[in-house]
Amino acid sequence: MSDFQLKPIDLKNNSEICVSFRADSFKISFLSDREFWTRYGLQGEKYLALLSSKERIEGFHLWSQDQITGQVELGMKGSSTSLHGHVYLYSLVSEMRGKGLGKILDDFSIRYFQEKGASKVTLTVSLINRSAVRFYEKQGWKNIGVNEVEAQQSQTGLSVYYMERDLMPL
């Protein structure tokens, strides 16, 4: 796995692939990317604005030589008294799924949040994305229940679960 590197997203040169990864995550999680385009604009412009602000989300691409093979989006959530990490996206190009690269994204995320001093990290996952749920459980994530806010905001009506992982300090 040493052939892979994670680098900060370069939106100037890679905005289209960023939009592609995020739209694909909606297809996988909600069986359609329609909600992505409704939420984030016909070209994904609202999504790109969110990524470019870096106030809430920091994004990284997984590179294999000169090819982008994955994307991860991370951020801190909560208040000053209960700040924790949150994974907004793990995504891999379809031909790279099931080859162990998700572990690279997960390990990177855990280190990222440990370096920021987070004691736990959360993510949301669609219940129908069983392979993702199994992957997260294998990595030590625990299902902590339905994300009611996301379920209410979603036009799909599909359940979205919160998962959580406790972190050990560095």
Domains within the chain, CATH numbers bracketed: 4-166 (3.40.630.30)
% residues pLDDT > 90 (the chain): 67
Mean of the per-residue pLDDT values of the chain: 89
Judge if pTM exceeds 0.85.
Answer: yes
- Dump pLDDT digits (tens) for 81-131: 778 999 999 999 999 998 999 999 999 999 999 999 899 999 999 888 899
For residues 97 and 28, the answer to whether their CB atoms sit within 8 Å is no
For residue 127, what pLDDT is reported?
84
Q: What would you report as the CA-atom Rg of the chain, rounded to the nearest whole angstrom?
A: 15
pLDDT band at 154 (very low <50, low <70, confident <90, very high): low
pLDDT band at 147 (very low <50, low <70, confident <90, very high): low
For the cut 90, the answer to whether the pLDDT of residue 161 exceeds it is no
Q: What Å distances lie between residue 44 and 49, 68, 85, CA to CA?
A: 9, 19, 25
